């Protein structure tokens, strides 16, 4: 969006004024004036960004603003790049470095002025306003008609979800002490409304509930219309003349007595729900309300005693059945010769009913032409996205996003199909791209994580894996959503990014000459080397490679990326394996994010110190140690330095402010841990240390890291003469006071030292991996671990585990045991813990599995049987190989 482009340029100008006095000397006044003008333009764009429907003049104006700002950014950054280069004789001859920055900024302001003036002059003009009253009304009406028509159409051809329907009907028949609200949530196109409508028409439901009411809530919500719709079920009297207070009272009086079921379809916000809720009789325990919503956080607030029912994706069998129904009609099946192709197409619909229906309609038009079906099979997601129904249903969610989330959402189209995306990488990329703005009291990382959580809650992104502390670890985007993001981000609309591909005839798309105005390039296949051979160039700001294959980059192309794009902000090319560290990266002064890999990387060059914009550095190397020659004191913006090798910092310069923003340092060599370093990096939140940890046992400086939340310790004595086992664990007062997550590996501590860890009162997650503790017996004492929620034990020689108290871990929610082949059973006191929700076992003994099954049975009896949908349920998760042969149970 244009406001993101303006915001990014504005933030860069502010940083220049504050932090780069020597670089901008003589241009301060012009830059300050540019800053003021950008502030005004940014305010204008944000004010109008949430309009749902914008006139063509406004859309064109936004496009012009975005392109003008991009041009200005390119000119300014090119000028800064030249000024930052070291002077040489040739530079003096050609006067390359002697750029008059003040003149350039003045030229930029004059170039931007007409576009800015047009926006401000037309601030309240008719062309900028949203579509007029009649058009907006017609749009709303048309949308409602489409919605209702879709529901009726699916009423006859509903396939699958019988189990989902049965579960929801069971909820509707449950007796409760007050009005019960049940919610269905799920991704756009998954069939929430279809399922609700199927229940609405179910004969059993019609029999059980004398009063059935269906209300559709549109984005253009009108609470009076909702109330009037409900009242029409009870009276023929015209109520349109009543005021809002009277309508609330009338609705409540009609619903106060008797058995009723109210369906509220498509609740978008909590404010909408609260307006409707005001008219609902909470004391009527015979009443039920079933809502559908795209927003999980909204659904959770409608009933805090019942989790929203998250609608699953269709199975392959259901998708194939529905596709045949759509193409061939009831009672008919696909001809044998087309069956394999048809099934392949059904699989590619990803379990989304809307996608199956759209493709079904496409295949009807193709008849039984095998070549045409093959074309559809090659690009199912494209065919789905070209259908207006798909675009409309996803656009509703996209248009509802706040302006600060729209670019974050569209950026997800950069990743390949069906990719499991690291949440850590994604949020740091968002920050580097300038999509995340600082909020009072929140770090950039926290804001980015909130944005991802919001997209998950809106069911536009799927949380694939969660961390032990329940934060999102990886996420995924459905192909249908991804295709929408790619189309919306295309050059004709937002010009957000472009994917470099190879067409069937071996031709690269786009052609090298077409990338001049592209902002971000992504490559998903192994065409990266071929692309770089063609020597592309342009003001590209991000170059990312997400190939699933590892690609060896020839030595002659080590510097190809910085040679091609000298204004880069983001370089994420981990699949490319470099033979040596690309030294030319140190010339890219605008770099904010570097993620590269090379098996032989052993050092990070000193030149990285000059990249004053750099925020994140990720190095993937097979080396055990990475010598970091960087002067951290010069790197004010550096926030994350991450690698699995042991980072060797030879010295820490006490000059400068660099290191103050450092949040991640993983993994630091034990020898590089010094009081001077941690005094400078006092804001660390995530620290990993690898090496001979005996050198840290008596150290006190870790205890001064008050912001540190996550600590990972790997006792690695491979390159030293140190003992294999850690002598003892450091005293609690020598450890970070606010530590929430602790991971230990190869420390081989005695189990009796667990009492020391129990004194970490803020600890919520404890992971004991790779012989962290050694010995056959552990007797857990009471009084420790007051806030521990997750205990993960993996690879240990533990055999007997007992508990000396009734509740050794008072707040434990998750117990994970892996590769504990010798362990016989879980202490009953641990299994009976009130808060225990997950017991996960993998590669353990048969007796331990039986112990876990016993705990599962006891907890279900204690809870009165399994109650799906309620909060606080218990789950036993096992791997197939861990189930005793005599058991008929299957892993949950």
What local confidence, expressed as pLDDT, does residue 723 receive? 66
Tell me how far apart the alpha carbons of residues 281 and 253 are, in angstroms, rounded to a whole number.
8
**More confident site: 64 or 704:** 704
Q: How far apart are CA 517 and CA 108, in angstroms?
A: 18
Indicate the Cα dihedral angle 383, 384, 388, 392, nearest 10°: -150
Under DSSP, is residue 580 helix (H, G, I), strand (E, B) or coil?
Answer: coil
Q: What is the distance between the alpha carbons of residues 353 and 861, in angstroms, rounded to a whole number?
A: 38
Question: In angstroms, rounded to a whole number, what is the distance separating the alpha carbons of residues 166 and 195?
Answer: 11
pLDDT value at 539 more than 90: no
**Given this model, what pLDDT does residue 382 score?**
87
pLDDT averaged over every residue in the chain: 85
Res 94: pLDDT: 35
- CA 362 – CA 347 distance, rounded (Å): 16
- pLDDT at 22 exceeding the cut of 80: no
How many whole angstroms separate alpha carbon 192 and alpha carbon 222? Answer: 22
Q: In what helix (H) or strand (E) does residue 422 lie, and over which residues does it extend?
A: strand 421-422
pLDDT at 885 over 70: no
- 591, 531, 532: which is closest to 563 by C-alpha? 532
Q: What is the pLDDT of residue 54?
A: 59
∠ Cα 848 852 855 (to 5°): 140
Picking from 704, 822, 706, the residue whose alpha carbon sits closest to that of residue 774 is 822
User: Is the Cβ–Cβ distance between 551 and 530 less than 8 Å?
Assistant: no
Residue 481 has pLDDT above 80, yes or no: yes
Of 171 and 330, the structure prediction assigns the larger pLDDT to 171
pLDDT of 36 reads 83
The confidence score (pLDDT) of residue 648 equals: 92
pLDDT one-digit tens code per residue, 653-707: 667 788 899 999 988 999 999 988 998 899 999 999 999 999 899 899 999 999 9
The Cα-based distances of 97 to 78, 93, 812 in angstroms read 11, 10, 62
The Cα 152–Cα 197 span in angstroms is 8
User: Could you report the per-residue pLDDT of 586-612, keeping only the tens digit for each?
Assistant: 999 999 999 999 988 889 999 999 898
Q: Which of 360-374, 547-561, 761-775 has the highest mean pLDDT?
A: 761-775
Rounded Cα distance between 816 and 158, Å, is 40
Report pLDDT digits (tens) over 757-778.
Answer: 999 999 999 999 999 999 999 9
Nearest to 692 by CA among 641, 747, 774: 747
pLDDT band at 615 (very low <50, low <70, confident <90, very high): very high
Rounded percentage of the chain residues whose pLDDT exceeds 70: 88
pLDDT tens track for 97-155: 445 777 877 877 787 777 777 766 655 444 443 333 333 333 333 344 334 434 333 44
Band (785; pLDDT cuts 50, 70, 90):
very high
Residue 847 has pLDDT above 70, yes or no: yes
Minimum mean pLDDT among 156-170, 383-397, 435-449, 620-634: which range?
156-170
pLDDT score at 432: 95
| Cis amide bond preceding 467, omega within 30 | no
Token pair for 101: 């920055």
Q: Residue 215 pLDDT more than 90? A: yes
Question: Which pLDDT band, with edges at 50, 70 and 90, does 506 fall under?
Answer: low
Mean pLDDT for 642-647 is: 92
243-301 pLDDT per residue, tens: 999 999 999 999 998 899 999 999 989 999 999 999 999 999 999 999 999 999 999 99
The mean pLDDT value for 572-599 works out to 93
Q: Would you call 201 helix, strand, or coil by DSSP?
A: coil
pLDDT on residue 122: 59
pLDDT in tens, 509-538: 777 777 777 889 999 877 888 888 888 888
Candidates 409, 323, 410; CA nearest to 359 is: 323
């Amino acid at each position: 969006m244009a406001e993101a482009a303006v915001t990014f340029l504005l933030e860069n100008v502010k940083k220049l004024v504050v932090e780069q006095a020597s670089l901008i000397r003589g241009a301060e006044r012009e830059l300050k004036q540019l800053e003021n003008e950008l502030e005004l333009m940014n305010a204008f764009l944000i004010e109008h960004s949430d309009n749902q429907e914008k006139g063509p003049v406004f859309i064109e104006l936004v496009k012009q603003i975005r392109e003008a700002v991009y041009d200005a950014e390119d000119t300014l950054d090119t000028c800064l790049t030249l000024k930052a280069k070291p002077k040489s004789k040739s530079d003096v001859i050609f006067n390359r470095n002697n750029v008059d920055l003040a003149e350039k900024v003045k030229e930029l302001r004059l170039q931007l002025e007409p576009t800015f003036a047009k926006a401000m002059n037309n601030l309240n003009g008719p062309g900028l306003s949203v579509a007029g009253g009649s058009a907006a009304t017609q749009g709303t009406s048309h949308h409602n008609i489409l919605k209702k028509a879709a529901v009726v159409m699916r009423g006859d051809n509903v396939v699958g979800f019988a189990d989902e329907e049965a579960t929801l009907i069971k909820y509707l028949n449950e007796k409760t002490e007050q009005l019960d609200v049940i919610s269905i949530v799920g991704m756009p196109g998954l069939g929430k409304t279809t399922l609700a409508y199927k229940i609405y028409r179910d004969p059993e439901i019609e029999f059980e509930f004398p009063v059935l009411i269906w209300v559709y809530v549109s984005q253009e919500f009108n609470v009076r219309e909702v109330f009037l719709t409900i009242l029409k079920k009870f009276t023929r009297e015209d109520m349109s003349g009543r005021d809002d207070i009277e309508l609330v009272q009338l609705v409540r009086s009609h619903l106060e007595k008797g058995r009723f079921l109210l369906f509220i379809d498509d609740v978008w916000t909590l404010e909408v729900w609260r307006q409707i809720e005001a008219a609902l009789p909470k004391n009527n325990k015979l009443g039920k309300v079933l809502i559908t919503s795209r927003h999980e956080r909204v659904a959770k607030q409608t009933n805090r005693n019942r989790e929203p029912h998250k609608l699953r994706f269709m199975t392959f069998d259901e998708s194939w059945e529905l596709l045949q129904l759509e193409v061939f009609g009831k009672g008919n099946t696909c001809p044998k010769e087309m069956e394999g192709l048809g099934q392949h197409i059904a699989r590619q619909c990803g379990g989304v009913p809307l996608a199956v229906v759209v493709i079904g309609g496409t295949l009807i038009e193709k008849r039984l032409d095998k070549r045409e079906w093959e074309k559809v099979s090659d690009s199912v997601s494209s065919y789905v996205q070209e259908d207006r129904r798909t675009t409309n249903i996803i656009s509703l969610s996209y248009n509802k996003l706040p302006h600060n989330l729209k670019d974050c959402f569209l950026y997800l189209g950069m990743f390949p199909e069906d990719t499991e995306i690291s949440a850590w990488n994604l949020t740091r990329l968002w920050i580097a791209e300038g999509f995340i703005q600082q909020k009072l009291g929140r770090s950039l990382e926290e804001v980015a994580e909130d944005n991802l959580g919001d997209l998950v809650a809106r069911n536009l992104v799927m949380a694939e894996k969660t961390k032990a502390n329940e934060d999102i670890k990886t996420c995924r985007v459905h192909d249908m959503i991804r295709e929408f993001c790619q189309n919306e981000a295309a050059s004709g609309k937002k010009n957000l990014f472009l994917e470099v591909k190879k067409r069937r005839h071996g031709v690269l798309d786009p052609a090298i000459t077409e990338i001049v105005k592209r902002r971000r390039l992504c490559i998903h296949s192994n065409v990266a080397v071929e692309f770089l051979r063609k020597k592309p160039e342009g003001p590209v700001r991000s170059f990312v490679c997400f190939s699933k294959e590892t690609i060896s980059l020839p030595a002659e192309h080590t510097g190809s990326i910085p040679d091609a794009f000298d204004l880069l902000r983001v370089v994420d090319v981990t699949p490319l394996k470099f033979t040596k560290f690309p030294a030319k990266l140190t010339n890219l002064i605008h770099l904010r994010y570097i993620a590269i890999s090379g098996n032989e990387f052993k050092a990070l060059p000193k030149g990285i110190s000059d990249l004053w914009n750099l925020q994140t550095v990720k190095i993937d190397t097979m080396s055990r140690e990475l010598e970091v020659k960087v002067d951290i004191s010069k790197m004010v913006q550096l926030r994350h330095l991450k690698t699995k090798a042991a980072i060797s910092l030879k010295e820490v310069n006490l000059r400068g402010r660099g290191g103050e923003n450092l949040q991640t340092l993983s993994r630091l060599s034990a020898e590089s841990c010094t009081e001077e370093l941690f005094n400078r990096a006092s804001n660390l939140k995530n620290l990993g240390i690898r090496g001979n940890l005996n050198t840290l046992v008596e150290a006190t400086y870790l205890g001064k890291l008050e912001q540190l939340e996550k600590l990972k310790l790997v006792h690695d004595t491979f390159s030293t003469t140190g003992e294999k086992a850690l002598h003892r664990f450091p005293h609690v007062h020598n450890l970070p006071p606010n530590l929430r997550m602790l991971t230990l590996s190869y420390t081989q501590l005695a189990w009796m030292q667990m009492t020391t860890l129990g004194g970490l009162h803020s600890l919520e997650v404890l992971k004991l991996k790779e012989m962290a503790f050694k010995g056959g017996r552990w007797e857990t004492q009471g009084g420790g671990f007051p806030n521990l929620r997750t205990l993960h034990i993996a690879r240990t020689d533990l055999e007997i585990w007992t508990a000396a108290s009734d509740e050794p871990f008072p707040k434990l929610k998750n117990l994970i045991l892996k590769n504990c082949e010798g362990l016989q059973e879980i202490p009953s006191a641990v299994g009976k813990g009130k808060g225990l929700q997950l017991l996960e076992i993998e590669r353990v003994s048969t007796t331990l599995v039986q112990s876990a099954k016993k705990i599962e049975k006891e907890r279900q009896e204690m809870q009165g049987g399994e109650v799906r949908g309620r909060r606080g349920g218990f789950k036993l998760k096992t791997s197939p190989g861990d189930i005793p042969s005599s058991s008929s149970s299957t892993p949950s």
